[in-house]
Structure 1
Amino acid sequence: MSVAKKLAGQTAVYGVSSILGRVLSYLLVPVYTARFAAAEYGVVTGLYAYVSFLNVLFTYGMETTYFRFANRPGTDRKRLYNEVLSLLLVSSIVLSGLLVLIAKPLMQFMSLPPEQSIYAVWIALILGVDALAAIPYARLRLENKAGKFAAIRMTNILLYVGLNLFFIVLCPDILEGKYLTALKPLIATVYNPSIGVGYVFLSNLAASVITLLLLGKELTDFRFRLNLEPLRPMLKYAYPIMLMGLAGMVNETLDRILLGWWLPKGFYPGQSSLAAVGVYGACYKLSIFMSLVIQAFRYAAEPFFFAQSTEKNSPATFAMVMKWFTLSCAVIFVFISINIEDFSLLFLRRPEYREGVSVVPILLLANLFLGVYYNLSVWFKLTDKTYFGTYISFGGALLTIALNFLLIPLLGYMGSALTTLACYFMMAAVCWYLGNYHFPVPYPMARLLSWLLLAVGLVAVSWFISVADFWLRHAFHAVLSLAFVGLIYLVERPRKSTPTPALTRK
């Protein structure tokens, strides 16, 4: 097997396992929105927003650092593995212990119910266990054991989903006598209804612990070896990576935290700030359709871009990839936004969650621009000027904080959605502007923006023209969607052209 085929195969394994895992987790959204009130789901949304930041702090860039130093000539990989894992073991114990000690005031700081401080304890344990698993996972990737890596990742997801269904659906239904009534005594011994939404975190903790056990082979040959001297250059290398990770998390998840902080009391009549966070978090999940496409694209595109970088016509190739990526995402944006009523009924099971669906088209468009940014970022990766990526990420983080501060008190979670769109649009625009100077690519930007404006116009038409009849409404939406796809085909389809003598002359 050639190196290229081997790389492509491993990329597919990593990509499919990651994307399939996200899809399975996403299927829990209808369960949560059916079983939990918006305020309860707000606790889940709020805590996992903090987890995104804490995950970065718990690993502080050491996973990428381990890859970098393990591939240096003359490196003793076994010794490096022991030193990095020893450092993470110590730091995870310290950080998890600190979070456990301050669980109650931490919940108050996060504007979450302090009486549910046990959730913070479980989160602290999850973070510690996941941080310990990061380096064994990295070792599997370093040793090209993509199959084992994917199998363990999928086992983790399946355990998490299965435990959620068991504790949140099966146990309550059996206790209520809906089915399998003979199991009531057994279920009563393992299920405590008062824990409620806490079973989301307990399921995560159980899945993380079992995952660590599945990494037993990578852990049993580990030997504790903490020597700060050789770790100093690694920590120096890891520090900027951690900062970039934190900036990225600001752009991705900070809005759900700031919404709970800055939403004025009573902004939504009859709904608490925590409930508003739950509504926004559930609606945000509907934009995952765009996120999945972007993630799949990144797994395939990054190695493709690097492979094409030495080709003479690589700029034209990059421009073509950008065009079709953007058009494909525009079709997804139009289809989901126009049919958002059907998607919301399917995934958002309670009416209180569906009050926030107006943010979904904005979040879909925001994620589209994030995908455009990933396309455009090829220039600073190929020119080894990745520090521009750091600058752009931090600029996006500052814009996210500033606009959330201004817009949340005025527009509620709509302000957070518009902030996300503004952030990703700004990142894409700045990246394109700088790329024109450092690595010019003939992107058809004016043409693509015209298509996006048309897409937004079609979505606006579908939203503002109300059709009461069920079948007529769906026929109208189908016509709009198919008209957009048909127009793209007519205008952008490849056309055969007769080569000129000048082009055919050798």
Structure 2
Amino acid sequence: MSVAKKLVGQTAAYGLSSIIGRTLNFLLFPLYLGIFAPEDYGVINGLYAYVGFFNILFAFGLETAFFRYANQPGADRQQLFNRVLSFIICSSVLLTSVILIFINPISRLIKFPNQQLFIGWLAVILAVDAITSIPFARLRLENKAAKFAGIKMLNVLITVAANVFIYWFCYNVYQENFLANLKPVISKFYFPEWKLGYIFLINLVANLLLIPLLWREFSTFRFSLDFTFMIPLLRYGYPIMLMGFAGIVNELLDRILLLELLPTNFYPGLTSKGALGVYGGCYKLATFMTLAIQAFRYAGEPFFFAQAKEKNSANTFALVTKWFVIVCAFIFLFISVNLEDFKFLLRQPSYYQGMAVIPILLLANLFLGVYYNVSTWFKLTDKTYFGTFISFGGAAITIILNIALIPVLGYIGCAWATLVCYFSMAVTCYYFGQKYYPVPYPIITMAGYLALAIGLVYASWYVSVSDFLWRHLFHLGLCGIYLVIIVLIEKPALRLSR
């Protein structure tokens, strides 16, 4: 049980910075909406959507390859670090140069013909992200969760503080809403026509600051480019890169298809862009599950590689996955039965009509987390191409179901397509994993806990309690029932593990 406790501690460290960072960034959303017209905000979202695809291209799947080869017997971790980072530096400089050279045709191709400056900044941001990913991976490999989380958190705080300074303080001073006597000073560096540009510039500066923050890791680096050495790592990593592309399709394509396929007047008083806004706003509440999964992945990936060498590794993997499902099922239950208390995060009543997608998306992301857990087998057996096939199968399901369901169900169809996609990926990955790397996952137990959580959510929907206080006590009681059952069933196992 000690290894599980260690994993929980590291997950908490990674999760704290991730949750706080995501929350602070989420709070910038209303700040932006108070300044930007919808078309301006569309530029931000559109360009950062492309950043998601290019982040995967710049990384080449080498972060996971670094973990895999660093845990091989007799691995020279310093040499591995030098060679992987040398390759990433060269490839990032090359890719960024290509974007900058062809920036005009690229801007026209992606439908942002007047945003060359922003695209250029984003190209540099992509390079810095890729280069710093390897030192960050080294921190995770060495179990330096506190330093990893601290640097990530500082980066977020710098970004948020700079945004608040520009888009709240400087904006209001310039508009003479307060401290009008400071306007001559503010006018020297705050230009209203730059209002979009500051977002990208702040991101660029904050990312560049990661280099001195990681200076101790960079100080040990010695340039050592060896293409022969890199071939097996790239062979291992490219299926992971393709998985990443498929994952971005699963995550983002539904929003593009919703805009294209939603029938006119499907939602009275809402255009397709308005419906997309409602779906996107409600989708943000599903990120509570995503945060838990991301925190777990940060700690889990190096943990699984390290534990693979232990005698009882399969039992450890099964135990970790069971508790992952228990915790995530509780997150799903708690948010789903208390949706009315999360409305304040959406801020505007026009978003409330889409809240039915939230439980579906929470459950979808839970299965995505299960997939990440059971996918360990193809990383440990160097059969990462299975991950590529599974991810592209998921992408196919996403495309087919969105095309079929959006005209009939609207954004509810998008949510169901996401759930079916991630459920199918988890089941398929488990099936093949039991053939090549058997792990005794307690499937019946995990399914029972998940069914319990779903049943309690249904109970909260179909038992109507009008009084505010009694309704909330009822909902908390449902969560309590889940926790009591977990304790009663798992308590004997916990005693034996001590």
Normalising TM by the smaller chain, what interval? 0.7 to 0.9
> Which deviates more, 271-280 or 402-411?
271-280
Distance across 1 between alignment mates of 2:265 and 2:387: 39
Measured in 2, the distance between the counterparts of 1:370 and 1:99 equals: 33
Superposition pairs for residues 357-396 of structure 1, below 5 Å?
A: 357-377=355-375, 387-396=385-394
Aligned to 1:485: 480
Of 13-22 and 28-37, deviating more is 13-22
Give the 3-state SS of the residue equivalent to 1:397 in structure 2. helix
For residues 79-127 of structure 1, the C-alpha deviation after alignment (integer angstroms, 9 at most, x for no partner) is 654543343233222322333455565455545x544444323222211
Please say if 1:35 is aligned against 2:35: no
Residue 156 of structure 1: CA displacement? 1.4
Closer, same or farther: CA 375–222 of 1 in aligned 2, 3 Å: closer
Match of residue 26, structure 1, among 20, 23, 26: 23
Say which is worse superposed, 84-93 or 100-109, in terms of deviation: 100-109
Residue 91 of structure 2 is aligned to residue 91 of structure 1? yes
Paired residue type of 2:169: L
In the alignment, residue 50 of structure 1 is paired with which amino acid?
Y
The CA deviation at 1:483 is 2.9
The SS at the match of 1:329 is helix
TM-score w.r.t. length of structure 1:
0.79
8 A contact 1:42–1:276 mirrored in 2? no
What letter corresponds to residue 425 of structure 1 in structure 2? F
Q: Is contact 1:263-1:412 (8 Å) kept?
A: yes
Gap change, CA 1:481 and 1:60, over 3 Å in 2: same
Query: Relative to structure 1, is the Cα distance of residues 484 and 211 closer, same or farther in structure 2, using a 3 angstrom cutoff?
Result: closer
Contact in 1 for aligned 2:281/2:351 (Cα 8 Å): yes
Work out whether 1:458 is the aligned partner of 2:459. Answer: yes
Offset at residue 319 of structure 1 (A): 6.3
Does the 8 Å CA contact 1:82/1:225 hold for their aligned counterparts?
yes
Offset from partner CA, 1:432-454 (integer Å, 9 cap, x none): 44456644444225534532441
- Assess, with a 3 A threshold, how the Cα gap between structure 1 residues 358 and 187 changes in structure 2: closer, same or farther: farther
Measure, in 2, the Cα distance between the counterparts of 1:309 and 1:223. 32
* Range 258-267 or range 225-234, more displaced: 258-267
User: Contact between 2:334 and 2:479, CA under 8 Å: does it hold in 1?
Assistant: no
The separation in 2 between residues aligned to 1:323 and 1:69, in whole angstroms, is 27
Structure 2 residue runs without a partner (length 5+): 493-498
What is aligned with 1:504? none
Displacement of 1:304? 7.6
Task: Indicate whether 1:16 and 2:13 are aligned.
Answer: yes
CA distance in 1, matches of 2:260, 2:109: 10
Deviations 1:267-312 (A, max 9, x none): 6666665555444333222112222333444556663894797449
Measured against aligned partners, the alpha-carbon deviations of 1:120-170 in whole angstroms (never above 9, x if no partner) come to 232222111212222333344556655544433222122112112222222
How far does the alpha carbon of each residue in 1:149-199 deviate from its partner, in whole angstroms, 9 at most, with x for none? 443322212211211222222222222334333332222222223333443
Is 1:290 the counterpart of 2:285? The answer is no
Contact 1:380 1:389 in 2 (8 A): yes
Q: CA deviation at 1:20?
A: 1.7
SS for the counterpart of 2:443 is: coil
C-alpha distance in 2 between matches for 1:40 and 1:353: 20
2:362 partner amino acid: L
- The correspondence of residues 39-118 of structure 1 with structure 2, limited to 5 A, is 40-69=40-69, 80-103=80-103, 106=106, 109-110=109-110, 114-118=113-117
Q: How far apart in 1 are the matches of 2:263 and 2:291?
A: 33
**Any idea what the Cα deviations from partners look like across 1:428-479, whole Å, max 9, x if unmatched?**
33344445664444422553453244134135437xx595xxxx24532431
Identity of aligned residues (%): 47
Between the aligned partners of 1:218 and 1:108, the Cα distance in structure 2 is: 39
Matched letter for residue 238 of structure 1: G
Q: Is the 2:330–2:453 contact (alpha carbons within 8 Å) kept by the matching residues of 1?
A: no
What one-letter code is carried by the residue in structure 1 that aligns with 2:95? L
CA distance 1:413–1:18, shift in 2 (3 Å): same
- Normalised by the length of structure 2, the TM-score is 0.80
Task: Report the Cα distance in structure 1 between the residues aligned to 2:491 and 2:12, rounded to whole angstroms.
Answer: 35
Q: 1:160 aligns to what? A: 159
Q: Which runs of 5 or more residues in structure 1 are unaligned?
A: 498-506
1:7-406 equivalent positions in 2, closer than 5 A: 12=9, 16-17=13-14, 19-36=16-33, 40-69=40-69, 80-103=80-103, 106=106, 109-110=109-110, 114-141=113-140, 146-219=145-218, 224-260=223-259, 262-263=261-262, 276-298=275-297, 303=303, 306=307, 310-311=311-312, 325-345=324-344, 347-377=345-375, 387-406=385-404
Q: 1:336 to 1:82 in 2, by over 3 A?
A: closer
Does structure 2 conserve the Cα–Cα contact (< 8 Å) formed by 1:244 and 1:390?
yes
Change (3 A) 1:229 1:320: closer
* C-alpha deviation, 1:481, in angstroms: 3.7
Alignment of 1:462-481 (within 5 A): 467=466, 472-473=467-468, 475-481=470-476
Structure 2 residue aligned with 1:419? 417
Residues 396, 426 of structure 1: 8 Å contact kept: yes
Indicate the RMSD between aligned Cα atoms, in angstroms. 4.0
Q: SS at the partner of 2:121?
A: helix
Query: 1:319, 1:443 within 8 Å by CA — same for their partners in 2?
Result: no
**Partners in 2 of 1:376 and 1:237 — Cα distance?**
18
Q: Distance in 1 between matches of 2:308 and 2:220?
A: 36
**1:14 Cα deviation from its structure 2 partner:** 7.1
The answer on whether the counterparts of 1:370 and 1:424 sit within 8 Å (CA) in structure 2 is: yes
After superposition, the Cα gap between the structure-2 partners of 1:71 and 1:319, relative to the gap in structure 1 and judged at 3 Å, is closer
Letter in structure 1 aligned against 2:52? S
Whole-angstrom CA distance in 2 between matches of 1:210 and 1:14: 25
Deviates more, 1:122-131 or 1:198-207: 198-207
Q: Is the 8 A contact 1:39 1:272 kept in 2?
A: no
Are residues 257 and 225 of structure 1, via their aligned partners in 2, closer, same or farther at CA, if it must alter by over 3 Å?
farther
Given residue 471 of structure 2, which amino acid in structure 1 is its aligned partner? F
